[in-house]
Amino acid sequence: MNSKQEKLEAFGRLLDIMDDLREQCPWDRKQTLQTLRHLTLEEVYELSDALLEEDLQEIKKELGDVLLHLVFYAKIGSEKKAFDMADVINSLNEKLIFRHPHIYGDVKVQDEEEVKQNWEKLKLKEGNSSVLSGVSKGTPSMVKAFRIQEKVKGIGFEFHDAEDAWKKVDEELAEFHAETDLEKKEQELGDVFFSLINYARISGINPDSALEKTNNKFISRFQIMEKLARKKNLSLSDMNLEEMDLLWEEAKKI
């Protein structure tokens, strides 16, 4: 692997390239914080795909794309005389040191859970008015629920174990089935989802990863179904559910 000096040189070269692009490339010159925003989200989702697949070469590529965006934002920040990449990194360094007193101070911790609890308490000392103030409004709903639950756990607001969490799932399911008003039923369904996510989290399962793997599995099987139908000179749209179920079972075996 590369030495620390080689890593620093590579990062310096990236900063130089960013300067060149911003000065000389018509597309790069035109970009703003807002025009880059949706592209950044797209790159992060592509990185997420690579991480789920554990494709190391693709992860390396996508990390580069995300890093480019971070450097781009810092470049725009320097043009606005607001901050540059050194400010970004120094701010991060100081935050990491402050939030790891068990490494850089005299605080003693027993395990990972104590580290998380200290992290949330230190964030409040930094001026956050709420434990949940760091949860982004734009975060997808399932990920947001997971983060909310993790954060309140940091101050002890947590079920004793997964069994207790599942009792809450049963309770919410019963309330969902008992409700007849559509608007209220929607609210109850949200409670069911939130409780299921909480149960998964306490059980050590990332619900977002679990659902995404199921999405990918369904896509793969359904596309096999389509291929099987074409081989049989059939069209799925002309088949009834029972006929499609037979193809689905065949696809599962494949």
pLDDT of residue 136: 87
DSSP reduced 3-state for 126: coil
pLDDT of residue 119: 77
pLDDT of residue 196: 98
Output the pTM of the full model: 0.71
- Identify residue 214 by its one-letter amino acid code: T
Chain center to CA of 8: 28
pLDDT of residue 111: 86
Residue whose tokens read 């079972």: 249
Q: In residues, how long is the chain?
A: 254
Query: pLDDT tens digit string along 81-91?
Result: 999 999 999 99
Residues with Cβ within 8 Å of 95's Cβ and at least 6 positions away in sequence, in order, are none
Per-residue pLDDT of the chain (254 residues), as tens digits, is: 999 999 999 999 999 999 999 999 999 999 999 999 999 999 999 999 999 999 999 999 999 999 999 999 999 999 999 999 999 999 999 999 998 999 898 888 888 888 877 877 777 777 777 889 878 888 899 999 999 999 899 888 999 999 999 999 999 999 999 999 999 999 999 999 999 999 999 999 999 999 999 999 999 999 999 999 999 999 999 999 999 999 999 999 98
Distances from the Cα of 21 to the Cα of 143, 183, 215, angstroms: 35, 52, 38
DSSP reduced 3-state for 195: helix
Closest CA to 147 of 136, 160, 159, 161: 136
